[in-house]
Amino acid sequence: MADRSDNDNVLDGEMVNHGDTGLVIPDSVLPSVLYLLPVPKRPFFPAQVQPILLEMKLWEDTLKRVGEKQNHVMGLLYCGEDNAQEIDPDSAPSIGCAVRVHHAHQEKDTAQIVVQGLKRFRIRRWISRKPPYIVEVDYPDNIGERDTDEVKAYAMAVIRAIKELLAINPLYSEELKQYLSRFSPNEPSLLVDFAAAITSANGDDLQDIMDTLPLLRRMEKVLLLLKKEREVAELQGKISEQVNEKINKNQREFFLKEQLKVIQKELGISKDDRTADVEEFRERLEGKQVPEAARKKIDDELHKLEVLETGSPEYGVTRNYLDWATALPWGVYSEDKLDLKRARKVLNLHHQGLDDVKDRITEFLAVGKFKGTVAGSIILLVGPPGVGKTSIGRSIAEALGRKFYRFSLGGMRDEAEIKGHRRTYIGAMPGKLVQALKDVETANPVIMLDEIDKVGASYHGDPASALLEVLDPEQNVEFLDHYLDMRFDLSKVLFVCTANQLDTIPGPLLDRMETIRLAGYLAEEKLDIARKHLWPRLLERNGINKKRLSINAAALRHVIDGYAREAGVRNLEKQLGRIVRKAAVQLLEDEALVLKVGKDEVEDFLGKPVFKKEKPQQGIGVVNGLAWTAMGGATLGVECTRVHSLNRNFKLSGQLGDVMKESADIAYSYVMANLKAFGGDPAFFDEATVHLHVPEGATPKDGPSAGITMASALLSLALNKAPKSGFAMTGELTLTGQVLPVGGIREKVIAAKRIGIKKVILPEDNRRDFEELPDYVRKGVTAHFAERYDQVREILF
């Protein structure tokens, strides 16, 4: 960059005269060397007068030097759409605009200068290529005669285009006034530059106008820009009109509605919010058979609503109460479809096996057919998890053609969930039963009370006791919800309850229900369920084509035996789901792959089997027992051994409950008292320490059904003789040798079959339970029945 004094000398030295005469007019004398400032976004035109904002830290030196000059002239050069900080001499345009600075004002780090465009300049040479930028320039004249007819015609076209813009958008008129106050309208070059400056064209298009020196060519380009500007302005005008029209229409409607309300009120024909609410509630009751007492209470509340102020808290409470009371299906019943063939078809469609349950439900519907209505019965489905209790409830509703509503009682501790809160409480709500009836809109739905064995009691009350009124056919004719405080007839509702076990259900509640047991599935039933229901459903749910992924019966049987041996099929579905997910990854990686899952591939997907094939235990002092658990039936091996003969002692292990410890003590006492009669040494137990153990010590065990099993293990030890192999047994023993009946016979027989035991010993009183089992459960099982322990001994020894 040249030295400051040299540059100043250059700037002071050379002036260019642009007149024809020898007389020099100050405005027309422009320097041949200029300081430059960059302008972003749009170039500056000779016809413009407007303020420019600058950052002082960048351009303070340039402004100071321009201010020191007598004529205050400098150059503005367009520097691109967004680069306002610097000028690149190699890529910058060669044509800019010489301007005179009229006013400068500084505030903090920003300066505002008002500049007036004077004339185009063309850069001949860069004197300083860094700020402050200095260039040597000349001032090119317009190419072409300005007074020709063609130029005048174009000038008139430009003026007409500007007038059209003014008509559309009045904002342009201010700029036009400024132009007319400073320049002669007879200057076509300035007119064209002004026309370009008022458009919203982009910076590059406007620089093209600056670079075009031939007047006619520049006029053509500007006319095109003006045409585009007019189209944009017209479009904006249309949009504004549409918006204004919409706003005006809405305002008009609002005012008219308000006027209408006032007129209706004056004439006494208006309906305010309160009247509309009252009418809506009265309309809801039309066609419903509301009992007299309930009708009187609702009418009283409606009368109260008519006199209350809409803004009062009491109004909201009363309105909410009436909303519930009038929404209930008073006397509205759906028609039952009591077609037994259809019912059987629906039940078979969704459930494999469970024939005894299906028969019981069919009997229930048959009785309903004779009575003309299905009512007055509460069904309790009891069984281990995953056997389909909830889905059977849905199937009953579908078979009957009734609406279905399910809610879970698991963990419920507040009786208000059943019977509602009193209206005096803030946020009071009716109970779940009233909510169910409102949702289903009929007074005879199927309502499922899931997990009735898991209701809890707390200081809020006892929900199980609150259910006594609901589930008693004699009482629920006049069920009273605390919130409604009106009697509602629940006798037509069919209640279906589910539970995993009966122990935790209070006796009075259990007494009101008809128990149907679901014992779980045999391996063959599970295979059918997996093949017909679970596998197709998993493929559909995961969007996989059955042609690309299939599984054979051997693989399904391996999954059932090795990974999902529990009574239900929920875990089986999880394991099959794991196979489908892992297979999906392989199918995505190879789009041509077709997977057929066989027994060998199962372990690749699921790892090593969780369950190994159980073998019945054998040997002296070892007997297989049968037990019932909430997860289904199970086999229990009972072992006993003589530890030493130093002193008499009886030791128990295996995490046994109190009832089971009592059974062991009874068995020990009974065998010891009768050992001589059984052919053993009566002194055996007098000096022996005997240890009796039930394996799987981590699993708590309790129940009265292991008496004869423990006695048989002790007798085997005392006689030093192994019992006959292939037997499993269940039954409670008394001190006098009687064998008492036990529960869960179906589950226990299934558990025995699962591990390959074909012979079972059961109490004589359970003969009826065994004979009532379905044929497919009894098939292959030989049952021996004992009334006294002597009969058990004869069978085993």
* Residues with catalytic function: 705, 748
Instruction: Tell me the HSE value of 77 on the side-chain side, using a 13 A CA sphere.
Output: 26
Instruction: Tell me the HSE value of 758 on the side-chain side, using a 13 A CA sphere.
Output: 4
Pairing of strands 622-629, 632-644: antiparallel
Is residue 362 within 8 Å of 348, Cβ to Cβ?
no
- Angle, CA 489 vertex, CA 485 and CA 492 arms, to 5°: 155
Class of residue 659 by CB neighbours under 10 A (exposed 0-12, middle 13-18, buried 19+): middle
Residue whose pair of structure tokens reads 């229901």 in the numeric block:
533
- Provide the token pair at 63: 């402004």
- In sign, the C-alpha dihedral spanning 409, 414, 419, 424 is negative
Measured between alpha carbons, how far is 90 from 97 in angstroms, rounded to an integer?
Answer: 18
- Provide the token pair at 56: 């002082």
CB count, 10 Å around CB of 234? 14
CA end-to-end span of the chain, whole Å? Answer: 122
Measured between alpha carbons, how far is 737 from 677 in angstroms, rounded to an integer?
Answer: 12
Measured between alpha carbons, how far is 214 from 212 in angstroms, rounded to an integer?
Answer: 6
The secondary structure of the chain in percent helix, strand, coil, rounded to multiples of 5, reads 45, 20, 35
The length of the chain in residues reads 797
Nearest by Cα to 711 from 653, 672, 762, 740: 672
What DSSP character marks residue 531? I
The set of residues, in sequence order, having a beta carbon less than 8 Å from that of 594 and lying 6+ positions away, is: 547, 548, 549
Question: E strands, 594-698, where?
Answer: 595-597, 622-629, 632-644, 649-653, 689-693
Pairing of strands 73-78, 33-39: parallel
Using CA atoms, how far residue 737 sits from 86, 605, 669, in Å, is 111, 52, 11
Measured between alpha carbons, how far is 269 from 266 in angstroms, rounded to an integer?
Answer: 8
Class of residue 469 by CB neighbours under 10 A (exposed 0-12, middle 13-18, buried 19+): middle
Is residue 212 within 8 Å of 45, Cβ to Cβ?
no
Measured between alpha carbons, how far is 270 from 249 in angstroms, rounded to an integer?
Answer: 24
Longest dimension (CA), the chain: 157
- In sign, the C-alpha dihedral spanning 693, 694, 700, 702 is negative
Beta bridge partners, 448, equal 406, 496
Q: Does 31 sit behind a cis peptide bond, omega within 30 degrees of 0 on the bond before it?
A: no
Give the ranges where 312-384 is alpha helix by DSSP (H). 313-327, 340-350, 355-371
What DSSP character marks residue 170? T
Using CA atoms, how far residue 576 sits from 160, 548, 571, in Å, is 81, 16, 9
Measured between alpha carbons, how far is 595 from 164 in angstroms, rounded to an integer?
Answer: 74
Measured between alpha carbons, how far is 152 from 66 in angstroms, rounded to an integer?
Answer: 38
Contacts of 675-684 with CB under 8 Å at 24 or more apart are 675/715, 675/718, 678/715, 678/718, 678/719, 678/793, 679/719, 680/715, 680/718, 680/719, 681/718, 684/718
Beta bridge partners, 110, equal 55, 107
